[in-house]
Structure 1
């Protein structure tokens, strides 16, 4: 950690010089006293996201010919957006009432202590940006939902910039889950523009500011087109690591080429599996593949079992035990009515168990990412 101070000072200097590009970010706030900002009950935004402006590229390696800006495209067709309905709470009214009563008992103090411990693990300092890849063996497992929860949790508890990067060009849902109303620049577009002379304030002009904080880089504009390729993914992730303390990558499903590259090059990995026999069995195959990679990929991998239905019949303990045999920790993301509803994720609507699971996952993944190469 010897270079930690220099890296953070350099980052703060870039943030404070944001006026030349028409954008400004508040410097990271100081660490809160013990017990503050660690209660998993409420996840609130830490700062107001800056407005999107046209970026300015400085330096001798800037493009000689301006790159035409793509048109801004809504993430959800306006004709469909009006049909989303009112978001419901992940917990029932009875569950919320019972939790309020439990706060009056001694167990509430234990929850605060545990929340503080997890927050400290999530806030671990890094000397260079950490990349966390999230994938699954098949679609519908909830990897975009898990990616969005991770990005929101890291952004809430950490004091350095956090990026959610979508590496799934198959009409991925990460922008919708993060509440982005529209997208413009894609990962492939940015790969053609990035150069070493750019500062954070330049790069952020190409990104989507997330309402609750943090940044988003989509893989596409929600249209069927050329898929994201490995060279573009490598270019973007390697370049952006210097600007963001944590990058959460929502990958395509395995065994896609970009997903395999992301899993092989990330500092930590999250594999999302549904609470079904086929989901658990396929994920075990992936874990065995990771165990055979030349470096210790399995040691930096966490499995998330998602309950996509309240009527799941598979025994979660048996499923977790089967996956743990491969050597990776397994966490459960319980069924949440708000998440199952689809659409943007509202932090204040998440079930208490979901918030706690997101904190445990973020802490578990961060522990492994910090220790990685």
Structure 2
């Protein structure tokens, strides 16, 4: 019996979790941080429940990703915050992870993703398509992207006549190249679900995010987006989707809990993004200028995306 035990035990059993005694997390905010700092680290009151919850989200966000993961952000209705969600999710993932994240504007109607992130739209996905055969390194890719913090951004074609030619085959060709150099690819899709590029987006997506709002029209269109997806054989993606409700427009006449419950019954999770004056400007987005509840909501969204990294 002793020999059997010896054979079943190996060096792999000596993990950090087994050897190291549990230690209280170091507080980084409020009076807890003040006490810790003033005592030179000798007194550690631990972290608050709020900080512990945030740290738990961060651990999920930083989960190991073995390969490329593609995220599709979609909505049947424009003006509900789809581009904002795409942009801030990208900023959040890039900020808290050590790998490469790129946001792609696949909107056929001169999308504004690059405007909201880097302000650079001179080089677009069309130029990259025209030179795909020459892209053999990260340096070559960077000729066609702009930088917003640690997030890379690929702008959409600003000429509507040209952007209409951006079809499924071209989108898939772009993603095939990006997947060689980036760990996470976030696609800001157009509002036209029947557009050819949207077919490619849905076909390649590992995670699906549907954006709506807790209003009559915003909730209805988001639910109709799910109906359309189910009717077109994307039922599995809908069941695993995340619905983001942008709460920049709220009314006491709307039963917000009932709206949330409706989408929770249809999808994996619902994230509510609270009103934020910085997001409402429609201008350049900066994580540092957002309210803490807003950043926490997007951290929750990023964690839900990361939960599927090993799926």
TM-score class normalised by the smaller sequence = 0.7 to 0.9
Match of 1:200 in 2: 138
The alpha-carbon deviation at position 263 of structure 1 amounts to: 2.2
Seen in structure 2, the aligned counterparts of structure 1 residues 185 and 269 have a Cα distance that, compared at 3 Å, is same
1:140: how far off? 0.2
- Equivalence for 1:362: 302
Q: Aligned partners of 2:216 and 2:102: how far apart in 1?
A: 33
Partner of 1:352: 292
Aligned match for 1:243, one of 181, 184, 203: 181
Give the direction of change, closer, same or farther, for the CA distance of 1:369–1:252 in structure 2 (3 Å limit). Answer: farther
Distance 2:71 2:57 in 1: 18
Q: In the aligned structure 2, how far is the partner of 1:103 from the partner of 1:313?
A: 42
CA-atom RMSD, angstroms? Answer: 2.8
> Does 2:210 align with 1:271?
yes
- 1:161 corresponding residue in structure 2: 100
- SS of corresponding position for 1:132: strand
CA distance 1:140–1:108, shift in 2 (3 Å): farther
Corresponding residue to 1:176 among 111, 115, 124: 115
Distance in 2 between residues matched to 1:203 and 1:250, nearest whole Å: 19
- Retained in 1: the 8 A contact 2:25–2:46? no
Instruction: Call closer, same or farther: CA 1:351–1:303 in 2, change over 3 Å.
Output: same
- Aligned to 1:248, the other structure's residue is in SS state strand
- Given the alignment of the two structures, is residue 252 of structure 1 paired with residue 190 of structure 2, yes or no? yes
Partner of residue 333, structure 1: 273
Find the residue that maps to 1:323 and give its secondary structure: helix
Structure 1 residues 273-293: Cα deviation after superposition (integer angstroms, max 9, x where no partner): 022112212222222343452
Looking at structure 2, the residues matched to 171 and 35 of structure 1 have their Cα atoms a distance apart, in angstroms, of 47
Equivalent in 33, 51, 56 of residue 117 of structure 1: 56
> How many Å apart are 1:370 and its aligned residue?
3.7
Report how far residue 125 of structure 1 moved: 1.7
The answer to whether 1:225 aligns with 2:171 is no
Instruction: Give distance in 2, aligned partners of 1:329 and 1:265.
Output: 21
Q: Which has the higher contact order (CA 8 A, sep 6+)?
A: 1
The gaps in structure 2 that reach 5 residues or longer are: 1-22, 36-44
| Structure 2 partner of 1:71 | none
The number of equivalent residue pairs is 276
After superposition, what is the alpha-carbon deviation per residue over 1:280-324, rounded to whole angstroms, capped at 9, x for unaligned? 122222223434526721243100011123546422210011122
Deviation sequence 1:75-122 (CA, Å, 0-9, x none): xxxxxxxxxxxxxxxxxxxxxxxxx68988989621221112111111
What secondary structure is seen at the aligned counterpart in 1 of 2:162? coil
Secondary structure at the counterpart of residue 131 of structure 1? strand
Distance change in 2, residues 1:291/1:35 (3 Å) = farther
- Whole-angstrom distance in 1 between the partners of 2:46 and 2:192: 42
For the 8 Å contact 1:188–1:232, the answer to whether it is kept is no
Match of 2:257 in 1: 317
Query: Would you say the 8 A contact 1:167–1:249 is kept in 2?
Result: yes
1:19-168 matched pairs, under 5 angstroms: 109-168=48-107
CA contact (8 A) 1:254 1:260 kept: no
Cα gap change, 1:264 to 1:300, in 2 (>3 Å): farther
CA contact (8 A) 1:132 1:369 kept: no
> Could you say if the C-alpha distance between residues 312 and 345 of structure 1 is closer, same or farther in structure 2, counting changes exceeding 3 Å?
farther
Distance 1:327 1:239 in 2: 31
CA distance in 2, matches of 1:342, 1:215: 20
Compared CA separation, residues 327 and 270, structure 1 to 2 (3 A): closer
Aligned mates of 2:25, 2:205 — CA distance in 1: 32
Match of 1:342 among 282, 292, 307: 282
1:275–1:312 Cα contact (<8 Å) kept: no
For residues 280 and 192 of structure 1, do their structure 2 counterparts lie closer, same or farther at Cα, with a shift above 3 Å needed? same
